[in-house]
Amino acid sequence: MINKTSLLLSLITSALVLTSVSLLMAGCEESGGISSGLKRQIDNVVECEMLEKQVPGISISVIRDGDVIYRQGYGKADLGEGIDVTPETIFALGSVTKIFTAIGVLNLHDRGLIDIDDKIGLYLPDLPNEEWKERTVRDLLSMSSGIAELAFCESGPKQGEACEDHPQGSPYTFNLCGEGHKCVSANRVPYPEYLERAAVIPLQFDGGAKYFYSNTNFVILGELIAEVSGLSYEDYINRIILDPLGMDVTRPNNVPPPPIEGLAKPYKHNPAGEGGFDCVTFADPPENCKNPAPTDVKCSEIPTEDLRLPEQSFAAGWLVTNQIDMTRLERALHELSSQLLTKETYDIMWTNRQLNNGNFERFGLGWLVCSEKNDMFCPKPVDPESGGELEGPLLDEPADKDGKVVAKDGGLPGYSAQVLRYLDDGISVIVLSNLKDGNFKPAGLAAEIAKLVRESEE
């Protein structure tokens, strides 16, 4: 039996002890140590990306060994009102929320309240699918449970029925909607209903057999946190992460309003002639961009009815934040703060999951984990026993010198985010933006910024 009273007392005591810690971390702002030339290079890269991909607003932070060495906002948080993006501008994190959820679950593991190799049904006996209960907590954290994403038929004779036609490399399909009718991801379904509807979709494979990214895993993990802690997901994340680290801006999103003060407006691309605003304007345009800015794109705000309901995203994509708060989290992660996790558990979180067949997937626990990073994906998982790269598809290029890299991206209608951490170098880049459209990939921008910084230090 879980002693929830003891857990609550422990959390309260920890919060009191951590008051001085959060005050110290609140003072950790930009420390300098970056040349004016490197700043110009970074600015040029970001502004060229904005012009080429027509991104209204971006904020970045560059961190070395836990200290901010450059933090900047670019473009507009509100095109109609002309409000600039600053480091204080708030953006939706989307799936970057999953790193908070992973830390929350692993914190319960460190406290002895769960074991990540236990079946999830031990803690959540009322889950709506019996097979889900047989998957381990580790299976869900590493996206290797086989639990499917909820999608439904948009139209046709099966309109509204659950379906699955994008099984990420598996030949499996479920309840196809019929010719001319789409199987679309759920967008406005509160998470209890989301789970009930997803429960009818058969599992894709045995637990630990494959990598299969599914938000359903982390919605369930949010329920795990609430059940075991006796607190709401929001209250637990506040007590173990946000309050101790002085992250006083980070919070759940609201849809529909009341609006969150300082939240950047979400934008999408419109073809020219269909209304909207100029996506990007610079009084002093960047130089030497690789490609010219397109002339046939406008930006318009995404209407409320097209935004994903935060209560659906829940522990998989609920949070909003700004660069000030994210760099406080980054410092704690760099220092392997014992207030969050033990050293052993950080190592587990950032180690590639070994699958049933002995191969290592490209995911740890809540994080992408790889040995190098390019602009699209993590091409080489790290074999934790040898430190080398594995044989197999997409792994035919020689390894570079990046060492271990951990990352997490996030995207919701109108927002995208990227956290990129080079563990061996101590260099991290955080990108937040108010566009998820077109060819804009914040992972590529973060990697390009990191490359400039790392090369400047050679």
State the residue for tokens 């406005």: 188
E strands of 215-360, at which residues?
251-252, 267-271, 297-301, 319-321
Rounded to an integer, what distance in angstroms lies between the CA atom of residue 303 and that of residue 130?
A: 38
The pLDDT tens digits for 43-71 are 999 999 999 999 999 999 999 999 999 99
Residues 6+ apart with CB under 8 A from 237: 100, 101, 104, 225
- Closest to 141 in 3D by CA, of 107, 106, 95: 106
Rounded to an integer, what distance in angstroms lies between the CA atom of residue 96 and that of residue 392?
A: 28
pLDDT reported for residue 416? 96
pLDDT reported for residue 4? 57
Query: Measured in whole angstroms, how far is the alpha carbon of residue 175 from the centre of its chain?
Result: 30
Rounded to an integer, what distance in angstroms lies between the CA atom of residue 120 and that of residue 139?
A: 9
Rounded to an integer, what distance in angstroms lies between the CA atom of residue 61 and that of residue 44?
A: 15
The CATH number that domain 4-100+238-456 falls under is: 3.40.710.10
Assign 3-state DSSP to the chain and report helix, strand, coil percentages, each to 5: 30, 20, 50
pLDDT reported for residue 395? 36
State the residue for tokens 């659906």: 312
Interhelix angle 191-198/215-229, rounded to 10 degrees, is: 120
Look up residue 232 and give its two tokens: 């709401």
pLDDT, tens digit only, all 458 positions of the chain: 455 555 555 554 554 444 444 434 443 455 556 899 999 999 999 999 999 999 999 999 999 999 999 999 999 999 999 999 999 999 999 999 999 999 999 999 999 999 999 999 999 999 999 999 999 999 999 999 999 888 888 899 999 888 887 655 566 678 889 989 988 887 777 888 889 988 999 998 999 999 889 999 999 999 999 999 999 999 999 999 999 999 999 999 887 666 789 999 999 999 776 789 999 988 888 888 999 888 889 999 998 877 776 666 899 999 999 999 999 999 999 999 999 999 999 999 999 898 999 888 889 999 999 876 554 456 566 666 554 444 433 333 434 456 789 999 999 889 999 999 999 889 999 999 999 886 898 999 999 999 999 988 76
Residues 6+ apart with CB under 8 A from 245: 21, 22, 25, 325, 328, 329, 332
Q: Which runs of consecutive H residues, i.e. helices, occur in 367-441?
A: none
Look up residue 188 and give its two tokens: 């406005």
